[in-house]
Amino acid sequence: MNKHHDTTGPTDDQQQITLRGPAELADALPYMMGYHPTDSIVMVALHGDRGRFGGRLRLGIPRSPREWPPVAEQLAECLIEGCERRGSRPDGIVVFLCQDPAEGETGRRVMERLRPLAQRLRTACGTLDVPVYEALCISDGRFWSYCCPDTRCCPPEGNPLALPGTSVMAAAAAYAGIQVRGSLRDMEGRLRPWRYEKAAAAEQLQALDATGAALVPRILDQDGRDAVREETVRLAEQLAKRLADGPRIMEPAAADAQDDALIGHEEAAAVILGLQDRETRDRVAEWMEGEEAAPALRLWRALSRRCVGAYVEHSAAPLTLAGWVAWSTGDEPAARVALGLALEVDPEYVFARLLHQACNEGLDPESLRRCLRQERDARAAAEARAGSGAPAAPGGRSGSGARAGSGAGSRSRARAASGARTAGRRTRPRPVRLPAAGKGGSGPRPGADGPHGAVARARGRVARRSGGRGSRSGR
């Protein structure tokens, strides 16, 4: 289960439409989320007498029923407190439980199996004095209401969902330019590592092993570490340009297959391992806007799929970069999916936690973009001074990769904002790897105005304005 939930807030410029009854609520769900949530709990806050949609939250359904009581309490508390931080306590909540039937199972059986979870969620919200107006189960193309006892409108066999594109919500979404991009499972499939049965997965695993053995001796040496950083950035630039120059394919599966074919196993391994260094990752995070953004996003998705076998935790870096670029370019649903997966493989990955919380709290990514532009400009100025023989600026290093400021200060602010533990990793057998990004990695840190500090300060400003405490991470 992904312990890190997705939350979104309302926007002021959305077209207002009226939804009447469970059928229209069920049909509206994918348009609210931007995709069809699968295997998910979705909770939506309602405000005012007319039930205006507010904050919303998504979490994967826990597999074990033993987890349902604490998860229900945490979700209810998180959604209600999040709405309060944004300025308005919800007057009610709508709950959706979305899960496809297992083999040999019917949609009705799914509904009955999840009924205790629905009741736990209703009780948890009621304990906080916020009623659940409606709780729906969506499965196998049908929906059921846990709240309506009238079999005339909510029969035991359920009601069929509206045909795609035939509802009032579909018409309003089409008018507003809102797209539903398949299911959550489809979106995650573009980011998850190749399966073992894929022939190329074994070849990629061998390349990762061989590349790691070659890079580790170099990374242990300071000069070699700097050289690896520069090589990683240059290779990533070459791969992004190669992807940008390829034919443009709109169909997601075909586009991903083309990107996979354009990247060699050794090339992918070198960049994946290089991104485990935090400074390298922050350097390539600068490719977040303009013409650089689209090929960079394709590259990070492709590299996430290459983190096969025992290297799955290495995908936290490219997944976080994919989430960052998606958020920076305005694709919040894709950003939440990528950042959620990054936290699924490494719950303590600090940069992903900060970005995930900032995205969920509706912060403007421009503050982080501005920070990264400043870092790029400072590095270019340092390189120019080094080329001209001028002395380096105080607190910086001449040559490429120059950074100013205190890394310790940046790390302390990140810890204070996220509540995360940044020292150490979970102890278990793993392949040889470079020092991990976001975990006290090697080499000089970006300056005090680096990405971690920028996100932490932005979240702090929101918390101070709302008079509430910051969002708790890991929830």
pLDDT tens-digit readout, 228-254:
999 999 999 999 999 999 888 989 999
- What are the structure tokens assigned to 445, written together? 């840190």
- E strand or H helix that includes residue 278: helix 278-284
pLDDT tens-digit readout, 297-341:
999 999 999 999 999 999 999 999 999 999 999 888 899 999 999
pLDDT tens-digit readout, 141-182:
999 999 988 888 889 999 998 766 555 565 555 555 566 677
For residue 445, name the pLDDT band (cuts at 50, 70, 90): very low
pLDDT number for residue 71: 95
In this structure, are strands 6-8 and 52-60 parallel, antiparallel, or unpaired?
antiparallel
Q: How distant, in Å, are the alpha carbons of 403, 414, 422, 425 from that of 440?
A: 16, 12, 7, 10
Contact indicator for 239, 455 with CB cutoff of 8 Å:
no
Contact indicator for 407, 453 with CB cutoff of 8 Å:
no
pLDDT number for residue 312: 95
What phi, psi does 2 have (nearest 5°)? -85, 110
Contact indicator for 438, 278 with CB cutoff of 8 Å:
yes
Of residues 455 and 443, more confidence is placed in 455
With a CB cutoff of 8 Å and minimum separation 6, the contacts of 152 are none
pLDDT at 377 > cutoff 50 = yes
pLDDT at 450 > cutoff 90 = no
- E strand or H helix that includes residue 132: strand 132-139
Which pTM was predicted? 0.71
Averaged pLDDT for residues 9-32:
66
For residue 366, name the pLDDT band (cuts at 50, 70, 90): very high
pLDDT tens-digit readout, 198-230:
889 999 999 999 999 999 889 888 888 999 999
Of residues 22 and 166, more confidence is placed in 22
pLDDT number for residue 315: 97
pLDDT tens-digit readout, 384-443:
888 776 554 443 333 333 333 334 334 433 433 343 333 333 333 344 444 443 333 333
Cα angle 233-236-237, degrees, rounded to a multiple of 5: 85
Tell me what the pLDDT averaged over the chain comes to: 79
Compute the residue count for the chain: 475
Percent of the chain with pLDDT over 90: 51
pLDDT at 19 > cutoff 80 = no
Averaged pLDDT for residues 380-386:
86
For residue 365, name the pLDDT band (cuts at 50, 70, 90): very high
Of residues 165 and 465, more confidence is placed in 165
pLDDT number for residue 11: 43
pLDDT at 444 > cutoff 70 = no
pLDDT tens-digit readout, 95-137:
999 999 999 999 999 999 999 999 999 999 999 999 999 999 9
For residue 454, name the pLDDT band (cuts at 50, 70, 90): low
pLDDT number for residue 23: 76
Cross-sheet strand order for the sheet of 132-139: 6-8, 52-60, 40-47, 92-98, 132-139, 142-145, 159-160
pLDDT number for residue 446: 36
